[in-house]
């Protein structure tokens, strides 16, 4: 295989229309994609398949949740965050390899969705678990620690449930019924802002790391509960209209 450059990789994996779409999630595009691209180029000459990378990302999400649960301290929180970060990077790499080598499969697509949903659960439920164990001057003793876990669980449900309804709508009504919902190029300015705020491989991920470092995960969990309830309401209205 001839030497692959970033430019050559993007010619195949990021045609103009797709590039316009992925750039909407600006933190992910400008901060994490360059790392994904360089690791992808390194892996291209190997026999590692896109599905293998996706399965790795799934187990990274599982590992993340285990760290959050079994190590109720800052080290556990940071290790859990690192495992989520590995999912994030692997999530970009598997797509690059699949598109560049044209290695597409239904099983790979299913694993990709499974890993993504697991990462969302680990991220939001994990933040609630970390908040419940956190010793912080912010809101300390004002809220029972067990309620942070509940808040994280509700946030996870709010971010996953609309996506599941979109998939069901696709099955029941066909591709045309969800084409606009999946096309990020049609997003309004407010929806783009909400996407960036809630993206776990975008701004939400950065804010969680900052919150862990400065013992503010309880505040993060409360704020993102409110944000996810807004996301859930807006998404469900959009998904269910025109039925």
Please answer whether residues 82 and 112 qualify as being in contact, where contact means their C-beta atoms are separated by less than 8 angstroms: no
pLDDT the model gives residue 24: 84
When the pLDDT of each residue in the chain is averaged and rounded to a whole number, the result is 89
The answer to the question of residue 107 being in a domain is yes
Residue 130 domain-assigned (yes or no):
yes
In a domain, 30, yes or no: yes
Above 70 in pLDDT, residue 80?
Answer: yes
Least confident of 21-25, 62-66, 134-138: 134-138
**CATH number, domain at 59?**
1.20.120.1760
- Of residues 145, 151, 130, the one with CA closest to residue 70: 130
Query: Rounded to whole angstroms, how far apart are CA atoms 160 and 124?
Result: 11
Q: How many domains does the chain have?
A: 1
- What percent of the chain stands above pLDDT 70? 95
Neighbours of 71 (CB within 10 A): 16
Using the predicted structure, report yes or no on whether residue 178 has a pLDDT greater than 60: yes
How far is Cα 136 from Cα 215, in angstroms, rounded to an integer?
Answer: 6
- Closest to 53 (Cα-Cα) out of 4, 89, 29, 8: 89
Query: Does residue 2 surpass a pLDDT of 70?
Result: no
Mean pLDDT within 83-89: 95
Domain of 202 in residue numbering reads as 6-240
Residue 172: predicted pLDDT: 87
Residue 1 lies in a domain: no
């Amino acid at each position: 295989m001839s030497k692959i450059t970033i430019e050559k990789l993007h010619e195949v994996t990021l045609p103009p229309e797709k590039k316009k779409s992925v750039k909407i999630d600006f933190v992910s595009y400008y901060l994490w994609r360059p790392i994904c691209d360089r690791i992808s180029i390194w892996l291209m000459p190997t026999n590692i398949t896109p599905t293998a990378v996706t399965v790795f990302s799934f187990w990274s999400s599982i590992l993340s949740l285990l760290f959050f649960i079994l190590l109720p301290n800052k080290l556990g929180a940071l290790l859990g965050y690192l495992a989520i970060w590995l999912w994030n990077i692997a999530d970009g790499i598997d797509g690059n390899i699949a598109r560049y080598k044209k290695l597409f499969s239904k099983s790979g697509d299913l694993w990709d969705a499974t890993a993504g949903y697991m990462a969302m659960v680990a991220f939001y439920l994990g933040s609630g678990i970390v908040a419940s164990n956190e010793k912080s001057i912010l809101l300390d003793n004002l809220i029972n620690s067990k309620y942070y876990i509940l808040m994280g669980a509700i946030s996870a449900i709010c971010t996953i449930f609309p996506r599941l309804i979109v998939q069901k709508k696709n099955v029941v009504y066909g591709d045309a019924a969800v084409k606009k919902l999946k096309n990020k190029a049609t997003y309004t300015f407010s929806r783009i802002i909400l996407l960036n705020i809630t993206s776990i491989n975008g701004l939400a991920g950065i804010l969680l790391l900052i919150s862990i470092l400065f013992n503010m995960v309880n505040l993060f969990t409360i704020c993102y509960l409110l944000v996810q309830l807004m996301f859930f309401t807006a998404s469900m209205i959009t998904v269910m209209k025109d039925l």
